[in-house]
Protein backbone atom coordinates (compact mmCIF):
# COMPACT_ATOMS: atom_id res chain seq x y z
CA UNK A 1 0.00 0.00 0.00
CA UNK A 2 1.31 3.43 -0.84
CA UNK A 3 1.87 6.24 1.60
CA UNK A 4 -0.80 8.13 -0.30
CA UNK A 5 -3.49 5.72 0.94
CA UNK A 6 -2.60 6.14 4.62
CA UNK A 7 -4.76 9.24 5.25
CA UNK A 8 -7.71 7.36 3.80
CA UNK A 9 -7.17 4.44 6.13
CA UNK A 10 -6.78 6.83 9.01
CA UNK A 11 -10.30 8.08 8.53
CA UNK A 12 -11.79 4.66 8.03
CA UNK A 13 -12.76 5.70 4.54
CA UNK A 14 -13.01 3.01 1.97
CA UNK A 15 -11.96 5.42 -0.73
CA UNK A 16 -8.53 3.97 -1.12
CA UNK A 17 -6.95 6.09 -3.79
CA UNK A 18 -3.96 3.80 -4.14
CA UNK A 19 -2.85 0.31 -3.32
CA UNK A 20 -6.12 -1.64 -3.38
CA UNK A 21 -6.50 -5.10 -4.81
CA UNK A 22 -9.42 -6.94 -6.37
CA UNK A 23 -11.42 -6.87 -9.55
CA UNK A 24 -12.41 -3.79 -11.56
CA UNK A 25 -14.67 -1.06 -10.24
CA UNK A 26 -18.28 -0.46 -10.99
CA UNK A 27 -19.85 1.91 -13.42
CA UNK A 28 -23.28 2.76 -14.71
CA UNK A 29 -25.66 5.65 -14.78
CA UNK A 30 -26.71 6.67 -11.30
CA UNK A 31 -30.13 5.81 -9.99
CA UNK A 32 -32.15 7.67 -7.43
CA UNK A 33 -31.48 7.07 -3.76
CA UNK A 34 -31.85 8.94 -0.51
CA UNK A 35 -28.83 11.07 0.25
CA UNK A 36 -29.68 12.42 3.67
CA UNK A 37 -27.82 11.51 6.80
CA UNK A 38 -31.04 10.32 8.41
CA UNK A 39 -31.31 6.57 8.26
CA UNK A 40 -34.38 4.84 6.92
CA UNK A 41 -35.96 1.93 8.74
CA UNK A 42 -33.92 -0.33 6.48
CA UNK A 43 -30.95 0.39 8.73
CA UNK A 44 -32.25 -2.20 11.17
CA UNK A 45 -31.25 -5.83 10.81
CA UNK A 46 -34.14 -8.19 10.00
CA UNK A 47 -35.12 -9.24 13.53
CA UNK A 48 -34.91 -5.68 14.86
CA UNK A 49 -36.92 -4.28 11.96
CA UNK A 50 -39.70 -6.78 12.55
CA UNK A 51 -39.71 -6.06 16.29
CA UNK A 52 -39.64 -2.29 15.80
CA UNK A 53 -42.97 -2.12 13.97
CA UNK A 54 -46.21 -3.72 14.96
CA UNK A 55 -48.81 -2.23 12.65
CA UNK A 56 -49.44 -3.90 9.30
CA UNK A 57 -48.71 -0.69 7.38
CA UNK A 58 -45.26 -0.46 8.98
CA UNK A 59 -44.20 -4.08 8.50
CA UNK A 60 -40.82 -4.36 6.78
CA UNK A 61 -40.82 -5.06 3.08
CA UNK A 62 -38.84 -7.96 1.71
CA UNK A 63 -35.87 -5.67 1.01
CA UNK A 64 -36.00 -4.34 4.57
CA UNK A 65 -35.79 -7.86 5.96
CA UNK A 66 -32.30 -8.36 4.56
CA UNK A 67 -29.34 -6.97 6.47
CA UNK A 68 -27.93 -5.81 3.16
CA UNK A 69 -30.74 -3.26 2.73
CA UNK A 70 -29.78 -1.33 5.86
CA UNK A 71 -26.08 -1.60 5.14
CA UNK A 72 -26.57 -0.42 1.56
CA UNK A 73 -28.65 2.57 2.65
CA UNK A 74 -26.02 3.54 5.19
CA UNK A 75 -23.12 3.07 2.76
CA UNK A 76 -24.88 5.11 0.10
CA UNK A 77 -25.34 7.87 2.69
CA UNK A 78 -21.60 7.62 3.38
CA UNK A 79 -20.71 7.84 -0.34
CA UNK A 80 -23.02 10.83 -0.79
CA UNK A 81 -21.46 12.53 2.25
CA UNK A 82 -17.97 12.03 0.83
CA UNK A 83 -19.14 13.48 -2.49
CA UNK A 84 -20.53 16.52 -0.69
CA UNK A 85 -17.51 16.80 1.61
CA UNK A 86 -19.89 16.40 4.56
CA UNK A 87 -17.27 15.80 7.23
CA UNK A 88 -19.68 15.21 10.12
CA UNK A 89 -21.65 12.50 8.33
CA UNK A 90 -18.60 10.78 6.83
CA UNK A 91 -16.84 10.67 10.20
CA UNK A 92 -19.95 9.46 12.01
CA UNK A 93 -20.53 6.55 9.60
CA UNK A 94 -16.84 5.63 9.41
CA UNK A 95 -16.45 6.15 13.17
CA UNK A 96 -15.24 2.66 14.22
CA UNK A 97 -12.62 2.48 11.47
CA UNK A 98 -11.58 6.09 12.09
CA UNK A 99 -11.17 5.41 15.80
CA UNK A 100 -8.99 2.39 15.07
CA UNK A 101 -6.78 4.50 12.80
CA UNK A 102 -6.64 7.26 15.39
CA UNK A 103 -5.53 4.74 18.01
CA UNK A 104 -2.71 3.82 15.63
CA UNK A 105 -1.51 7.43 15.68
CA UNK A 106 -2.95 8.80 12.46
CA UNK A 107 -5.07 11.55 14.01
CA UNK A 108 -8.79 12.09 14.54
CA UNK A 109 -11.20 11.74 11.66
CA UNK A 110 -12.05 15.43 11.64
CA UNK A 111 -8.40 16.25 10.92
CA UNK A 112 -7.54 13.44 8.53
CA UNK A 113 -10.71 13.07 6.45
CA UNK A 114 -10.28 16.46 4.70
CA UNK A 115 -7.15 14.93 3.14
CA UNK A 116 -9.40 12.26 1.65
CA UNK A 117 -11.63 14.93 0.15
CA UNK A 118 -8.61 16.55 -1.52
CA UNK A 119 -7.61 13.25 -3.12
CA UNK A 120 -10.94 12.85 -4.94
CA UNK A 121 -11.41 14.71 -8.21
CA UNK A 122 -14.35 17.10 -8.62
CA UNK A 123 -15.84 14.73 -11.23
CA UNK A 124 -15.62 11.79 -8.83
CA UNK A 125 -17.18 13.85 -6.03
CA UNK A 126 -20.14 14.75 -8.26
CA UNK A 127 -20.56 11.06 -9.12
CA UNK A 128 -20.44 10.00 -5.47
CA UNK A 129 -23.27 12.39 -4.59
CA UNK A 130 -25.71 10.13 -6.43
CA UNK A 131 -23.87 6.80 -6.33
CA UNK A 132 -25.85 3.67 -5.60
CA UNK A 133 -24.89 0.12 -4.67
CA UNK A 134 -25.73 -3.01 -6.65
CA UNK A 135 -27.10 -5.34 -3.96
CA UNK A 136 -26.46 -8.40 -6.10
CA UNK A 137 -22.71 -7.90 -5.62
CA UNK A 138 -22.80 -7.71 -1.81
CA UNK A 139 -21.65 -10.49 0.49
CA UNK A 140 -23.65 -10.95 3.68
CA UNK A 141 -21.20 -12.47 6.16
CA UNK A 142 -23.81 -12.47 8.94
CA UNK A 143 -26.92 -10.49 9.90
CA UNK A 144 -24.56 -7.90 11.39
CA UNK A 145 -21.67 -7.86 8.89
CA UNK A 146 -21.78 -7.05 5.17
CA UNK A 147 -19.00 -6.75 2.57
CA UNK A 148 -19.49 -4.21 -0.23
CA UNK A 149 -16.90 -4.49 -3.01
CA UNK A 150 -15.88 -1.42 -4.98
CA UNK A 151 -17.35 -3.09 -8.06
CA UNK A 152 -20.83 -2.83 -6.48
CA UNK A 153 -20.76 0.98 -6.55
CA UNK A 154 -22.73 2.42 -9.45
CA UNK A 155 -22.00 5.99 -10.46
CA UNK A 156 -21.90 8.27 -13.49
CA UNK A 157 -18.12 7.78 -13.74
CA UNK A 158 -16.18 4.57 -13.56
CA UNK A 159 -14.44 3.87 -10.27
CA UNK A 160 -11.64 1.31 -10.18
CA UNK A 161 -10.34 -0.53 -7.15
CA UNK A 162 -7.50 1.97 -6.98
CA UNK A 163 -10.11 4.76 -6.67
CA UNK A 164 -12.59 3.11 -4.36
CA UNK A 165 -11.72 0.26 -2.04
CA UNK A 166 -13.94 -2.51 -0.72
CA UNK A 167 -15.97 -1.75 2.42
CA UNK A 168 -16.99 -3.76 5.44
CA UNK A 169 -20.06 -2.55 7.31
CA UNK A 170 -21.05 -3.87 10.71
CA UNK A 171 -24.23 -3.37 12.71
CA UNK A 172 -23.28 -2.03 16.15
CA UNK A 173 -25.47 -0.48 18.81
CA UNK A 174 -28.47 -0.15 16.52
CA UNK A 175 -26.62 1.34 13.53
CA UNK A 176 -24.53 0.30 10.50
CA UNK A 177 -20.93 1.58 10.44
CA UNK A 178 -18.02 1.33 8.02
CA UNK A 179 -15.48 -0.75 9.93
CA UNK A 180 -13.02 -1.63 7.22
Find the domain containing 55 and state its range. 3-24+42-178
Where would I find the H helices in the chain? Answer: 6-11, 46-52, 67-84, 87-93, 95-101, 109-118, 122-128
Please report whether residue 37 resides in a domain.
Answer: no
Asked if residue 105 is part of any domain, the answer here is yes
Quote the pLDDT of residue 106: 86
Say how many domains are in the chain: 1
pLDDT tens-digit profile of 14-25? 333 222 323 334
- Of 87 and 36, the one with more pLDDT: 87
Domain assignment of residue 117, yes or no? yes
Phi-psi region of 6 (alpha: psi -120 to 50; beta: other; left: phi over 0): alpha
At residue 38, the pLDDT reads 34
Tell me whether residue 110 is in a domain: yes
Please give the Cα distance from 58 to 72 (Å, whole number): 20
State pTM to two decimals: 0.68
Amino acid sequence: MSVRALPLLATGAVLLIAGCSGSGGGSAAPTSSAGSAALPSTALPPASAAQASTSTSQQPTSTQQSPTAGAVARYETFLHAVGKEDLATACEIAGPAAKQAEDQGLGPCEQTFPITFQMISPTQKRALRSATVDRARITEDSPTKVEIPASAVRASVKFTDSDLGDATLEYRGGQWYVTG
